[in-house]
């Protein structure tokens, strides 16, 4: 990442160090994805374009479909120097028509992005917003800015950032675009860590506000400058600085260090601090073993860690985080069950790559949930849909281009003849389906009908009884509708019978209908599907048989006394 080249300005210009940290391909931007006019995108600051991209990625990574943030109180806090990234989202009301966040740009030099995090935390605690997009941005396009830092003797001549080392001569300027999406804990779908508290000051000391024993903090991601430790510790405090790894991204350094912390939490290890050989004598804690620089890959000592950023204007920020201790995969039988996986993308290859990754980790239901949440993008932006089965003996992947025209959804409710023994047994594994069946079972219990017995251990003979038949079919269809509605599948129309909007009335109607059939003691009847037209069939059947249903142009269902139906069918077969 830290390279010596002339992609920003000619090497050695104005006597500047030749090595800097640079992002690649900052001139590229997916105009169509963000629905921006090409002319407007061309004139946008590259920092703003990149912020749009990483913000979208951050929201998706949090397990949220960005479309669902429309109309919500989600504010934006960006740390940046100058006015390069002002009004990040509100700058384009046409593109983000339904987004109306409060947007803040924070500029306190090197502590800008961590101060933006502090502002977001206070806004969440005050209910000023329900979620926050926190980030930092730094692109080094102007050599004149580097010249100013060079004159202040702040830059490293050899392009190496030796944090905490006695041979440190300055820092390496670096570029970063980083976004963190934060929510209240109870609203979060994906939890990396909890921000316990943050505090800011100006060249001063702040008293303890959360009553946390400093000895319990196991690791500090430091700004990279030394400070005299004010407390005695039972063991050395581990410290590290991301600047030794990637340089100093200035206003974005706080959120860049926070991203490093979150990666360390995922892996359970702290990456090594580079270029550290001997302790800086101006940092007493390094000399008396109160502080220990992480010089090799090290396991996180505990779940508490801190991060700090100092601005050369005097604004300092410190934050305490607690790792999510429940990151280990829990035992869940559904990890090994066959399930449908689907994805949406803008290209066929995009769909295939997503489904390929899902099949590679087909027991990872957390990954499946993340992909599923982000698989409902509009067809005019994500024109391809893909499907595959996970955990099967064999399966194939299907990817098709979808039609932008919305197709109508009709719920077709069937009647008698569609039942079979134990037909709901596999569906009972679905929590919502089972809950709906339980409600129907409570309703039927006072009529001495054991719905669970019918579902889990019925025989074909049990379903020959009209009451058992009717209530089983109705109960299943009610439960299926409940499951579809939780997936936001709403019907445009209904065709069929034996269904109602309210579960209790529907299941009772099915019970009463079956009871009437049983108690009427009518002569046995029969039905048959005949492969004739309506007129042909009408000319051939006897007077005690009627046409009951027009199925298709050459198929008719007839009904009548059982013996007459059997005799009529036999006559037709002989012909």
Distance from C-alpha of 133 to C-alpha of 135, rounded to nearest angstrom: 7
d(CA 337, CA 425): 15
Question: Which residue out of 223, 275, 318, 382 is catalytically annotated?
Answer: 223
Contact 16, 172 (CB under 8 A): no
Does the active-site annotation cover 223?
yes
In order, the DSSP letters of 441-465 are HHHHHTTT--HHHHHHH--TTGGGS
On whether the CB atoms of residues 387 and 340 are closer than 8 A, the answer is yes
Give the CA dihedral 501, 502, 507, 511, nearest 10 degrees. -90
Q: How many other CB atoms are there within 10 angstroms of residue 281's CB atom?
A: 10
Distance CA 467, CA 451 (A): 11
C-alpha atoms less than 13 angstroms from C-alpha of 439 in its C-beta half-sphere: 17
By C-alpha distance, which of 225, 249, 232 is closest to 79? 249
* 178: enclosing H helix or E strand: strand 176-183
CA distances from 336 to 4, 94, 427 (A): 50, 46, 16
Phi/psi at 412 (nearest 5 deg)?
-105, 115
Count of Cβ atoms closer than 10 Å to residue 219 Cβ: 23
Out of 110, 119, 140, 351, which one is annotated catalytic? 110
384-390 and 546-552 beta bridge pairing? unpaired
Angstrom distance (rounded) from CA 51 to CA 137: 8
Cβ atoms within 10 Å, residue 34: 16
Residue with tokens 């949440």: 373
Determine phi and psi for 196, rounding to 5 degrees.
Answer: -70, -45
Smallest Cα–Cα separation from 104: which of 134, 78, 133?
Answer: 78
Of 140, 248, 275, 344, which is the active-site residue? 248
| 127's tokens | 């209910």
Q: For this structure, is 110 an active site residue?
A: yes
86 contact partners, CB below 8 Å, separation of at least 6:
80, 105
Alpha-carbon span 471 to 510, nearest angstrom: 5
Phi then psi for residue 566, to 5 deg, are -60, -40
Q: What 3-state class would DSSP assign to 89?
A: coil
> In angstroms, rounded to a whole number, what is the distance separating the alpha carbons of residues 176 and 174?
7
Residues 6+ apart with CB under 8 A from 93: none
What is the spatial distance between Cα 286 and Cα 220, in angstroms, rounded to a whole number?
14
Please confirm, yes or no, whether 382 is among the known catalytic residues: no
Which residues participate in catalysis according to the annotation? Answer: 110, 223, 248
């Amino acid at each position: 990442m830290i390279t010596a080249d002339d992609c920003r300005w000619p090497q050695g210009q104005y006597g500047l160090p030749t090595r800097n940290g640079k992002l690649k391909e900052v001139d590229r931007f997916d105009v169509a994805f963000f629905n921006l006019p090409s002319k407007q995108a061309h004139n946008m600051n590259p920092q703003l374009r990149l912020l749009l991209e990483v913000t979208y990625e951050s929201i998706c990574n949090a397990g949220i479909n960005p479309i669902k943030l429309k109309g919500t109180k989600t504010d934006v806090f960006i740390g940046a120097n100058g006015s390069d990234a002002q009004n990040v989202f509100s700058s384009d009301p046409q593109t983000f028509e339904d987004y109306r966040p409060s947007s803040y740009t924070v500029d306190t030099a090197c502590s800008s992005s961590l101060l933006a995090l502090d502002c977001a935390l206070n806004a969440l605690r005050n209910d000023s917003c329900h979620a926050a997009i926190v980030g930092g941005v730094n692109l080094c396009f102007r050599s004149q800015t580097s010249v100013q830092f060079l004159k202040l003797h702040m830059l490293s001549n050899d392009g190496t950032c030796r944090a905490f080392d006695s041979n440190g001569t300055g820092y390496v300027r670096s570029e970063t675009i980083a976004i963190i999406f934060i929510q209240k804990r109870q609203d979060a779908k994906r939890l990396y860590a909890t921000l316990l508290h943050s505090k800011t000051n100006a060249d001063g000391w702040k008293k303890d506000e959360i009553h946390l024993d400093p000895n319990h903090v196991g690791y500090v991601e430091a700004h990279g400058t030394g400070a005299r430790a004010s407390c005695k510790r039972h063991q050395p405090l581990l410290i590290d600085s991301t600047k030794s790894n990637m340089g100093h991204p200035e206003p974005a350094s706080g959120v860049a260090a926070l991203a490093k912390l979150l990666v360390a939490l995922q892996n359970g290890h702290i990456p090594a601090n580079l270029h550290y050989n001997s302790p800086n004598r101006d940092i007493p804690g390094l000399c008396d073993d109160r502080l220990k620089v992480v010089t090799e890959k090290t396991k996180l000592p505990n779940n508490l860690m801190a991060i700090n950023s100092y601005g050369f204007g005097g604004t300092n920020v410190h934050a305490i985080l607690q790792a999510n201790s429940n990151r280990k995969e829990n035992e869940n039988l559904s990890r090994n069950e066959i399930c449908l996986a689907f994805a949406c993308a803008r290209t066929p290859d995009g769909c295939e790559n997503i489904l390929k990754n899902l099949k590679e980790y087909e027991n990872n239901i957390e990954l499946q949930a993340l992909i599923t949440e982000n698989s409902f993008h509009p067809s005019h932006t994500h024109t391809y849909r893909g499907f595959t089965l996970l955990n099967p003996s064999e399966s194939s992947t299907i990817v098709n281009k979808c039609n932008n025209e919305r197709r109508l959804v009709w719920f077709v409710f069937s009647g008698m003849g569609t039942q079979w023994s134990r037909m709901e047994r596999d569906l009972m594994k679905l929590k919502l389906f089972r809950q709906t069946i339980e409600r129907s079972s409570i309703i039927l219990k006072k009529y001495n009908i054991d719905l669970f017995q019918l579902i889990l251990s019925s025989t074909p003979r049990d379903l020959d009884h009209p009451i058992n038949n009717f209530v089983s079919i109705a109960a299943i269809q009610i439960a299926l509708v409940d499951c579809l509605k939780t997936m936001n599948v709403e019907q445009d129309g209904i065709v069929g019978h034996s269904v109602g909007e309210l579960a209790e009335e529907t299941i009772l109607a099915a019970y009463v209908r079956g009871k009437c059939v049983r108690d009427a003691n009518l002569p046995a009847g029969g039905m048959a599907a005949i492969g004739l037209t309506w007129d042909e069939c009408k000319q051939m059947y006897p007077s005690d048989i009627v046409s009951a249903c027009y199925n298709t142009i050459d198929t008719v269902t007839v009904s009548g006394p059982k013996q007459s139906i059997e005799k009529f069918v036999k006559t037709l077969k002989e012909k």
